Amino acid sequence: MACKWIGPGWYIPAISLGFGITSVATAFVNNIHEICGVRFVLGIFEAGMLPGIAYYMSRWYRRSELTFRLSLYIVMAPLAGAFGGLLASAILKLSNFGSLHEWRMIFAIEGIITCGVSLISFVTLTDRPATAFWLTQEEKDLAIARVKSERVGATEVLDKLDTRKTLLGIFGPVTMVTAFIFLLNNITVQGLAFFAPTIVKTIYPDDSVVSQQLHTVPPYVVGGFFTVLFPFLSWKFNRRLIFFILSAPLVMIGYIMFLASDDSKVRYGATFVIASGAFSLGALSNASVSANVVSDTARSSAIGTNVMFGNIGGLISTWSFLPFDSPDYHIGNGLNLATSSTILICSIALVFWMHLDNKKRDKENVEVKLAGLSQTQIQNLDWRHPGFRWKT
């Protein structure tokens, strides 16, 4: 919602700059109180990035196109996990960075890079197609018309913030179920980040820290590939929920491998399977909630709700791998098997409900339903508009 109010062209660079500055500040903490305070501020800036970018892209791309374009941003998360390990390994080979040593160098250097990119984005990002200085007027009109053509009952692409539409975006049935699915998925994604290094240590106990970090890279690379592959197929087939259904069994198989085998190499292989299924839902879920509302206001609140639930899942994951349950972590791995199974069930149920409700809407007379309503009242219907159809 803040992104819509401030404007993406300022909001996204600003929180990115704040993230970079806070990352640099992390290099200078000296006790647990300081690190907790800095990490709290870091989380505030980071929390707005995914919903902000997803909302920003929804101003430019049609429903079928958004998933793949968003995946090109989402894929940077597993790639950051992969190349972050490579960069950290390279930085740790330095003797010092100014007065900083060891892990402090990593936060300082990566934070400075982030600040530099953020300052550039203040110039390059614009709020919407209409203000894009690199487009001709004809191109601007075309970009606006493409997006507007999909918005049933809307007379404008960008509406003003409105409480009714905000609530319709938050409490839409597809938003609620998809957000719950993303919550469950994020428990898995964040849990994998915790468990993968533990597996590597059991396979290569005598390797250096740098070598162990490098061995966590391959699963993230594979996950990055599927992060783009599923959304690409989603774009071509103009379907999103079918890939929810296809990804869940991959995660289930991976955690069954964790629970059924004590062999570290089998478990390491399982991380590849899990990453293949889990990482793609970031793009797919945000594109799904975006596709199933009409107004710009509802879209901003729907995406924000989805990401908020995902962050709650990340919080839950921090308590799912408990020290007393090591090294097998049956509780954490069992929980993730349960979440992926629930994702499969919820996804199938949501698809069936959307098809049934669309059939019900097909039988309604749109003109009769809208009779007597003003243009403003029609726009305020959003997904309740009788001419709207759920997009699976």
Give Cα separations from 241 to 227, 244, 357 (angstroms).
15, 5, 16
Q: What is residue 108's predicted lDDT score, i.e. its pLDDT?
A: 86
Residue 183 has pLDDT above 80, yes or no: yes
Residue 329 belongs to some domain of the structure? yes
Q: Which has more pLDDT, 230 or 215?
A: 230
Q: What is residue 153's predicted lDDT score, i.e. its pLDDT?
A: 61
User: What is d(CA 81, CA 383) in angstroms, rounded to the nearest whole number?
Assistant: 37
Comparing CA positions, the residue from 208, 186, 203, 321 lying closest to residue 270 is 203
Residue 210 has pLDDT above 80, yes or no: no
Q: Rounded mean pLDDT of 209-218?
A: 76
Residue 359 belongs to some domain of the structure? yes
Residue 371 belongs to some domain of the structure? yes
Q: What is residue 232's predicted lDDT score, i.e. its pLDDT?
A: 95
Q: Rounded mean pLDDT of 172-183?
A: 97
Residue 204 belongs to some domain of the structure? yes
Residue 128 has pLDDT above 80, yes or no: yes
Q: What is residue 354's predicted lDDT score, i.e. its pLDDT?
A: 97
CATH number at residue 89: 1.20.1250.20
Ranking 46-50, 76-80, 254-258, 308-312 by mean pLDDT, the lowest is 76-80
Residue 390 belongs to some domain of the structure? no
- Contact, 283 vs 71, CB < 8 A? yes
Q: Following DSSP, what letter does each residue of 246-276 receive, concatenated? A: HHHHHHHHHHHHHHH---HHHHHHHHHHHHH
Q: Rounded mean pLDDT of 352-375?
A: 90
The β-bridge partners of 202 are none
Give Cα separations from 350 to 227, 242, 354, 355 (angstroms).
22, 10, 6, 9
Residue 100's pLDDT band, with cuts at 50, 70 and 90, is confident
Residue 256 has pLDDT above 90, yes or no: yes
Q: What is residue 167's predicted lDDT score, i.e. its pLDDT?
A: 94
Residue 134 belongs to some domain of the structure? yes
Q: Which has more pLDDT, 94 or 247?
A: 247
The residue type found at 256 is: I
Residue 190 belongs to some domain of the structure? yes
Residue 53 belongs to some domain of the structure? yes
Range of the structural domain that residue 215 is part of: 2-384
Q: What is residue 78's predicted lDDT score, i.e. its pLDDT?
A: 62
Residue 81's pLDDT band, with cuts at 50, 70 and 90, is low
Does the CA dihedral 28-29-35-38 come out positive or negative?
negative
According to DSSP, residue 295 is labeled S
Residue 154 has pLDDT above 70, yes or no: no
Q: What is residue 205's predicted lDDT score, i.e. its pLDDT?
A: 76
Other residues' Cβ atoms within 10 Å of the Cβ of residue 5: 9
Q: Rounded mean pLDDT of 243-267?
A: 92
Work out how many domains the chain is built from and give that number. Answer: 1
Q: Rounded mean pLDDT of 126-149?
A: 87
Residue 379's pLDDT band, with cuts at 50, 70 and 90, is confident
- Contact, 257 vs 192, CB < 8 A? no
Comparing CA positions, the residue from 267, 256, 244 lying closest to residue 327 is 267
Q: Which has more pLDDT, 283 or 107?
A: 283
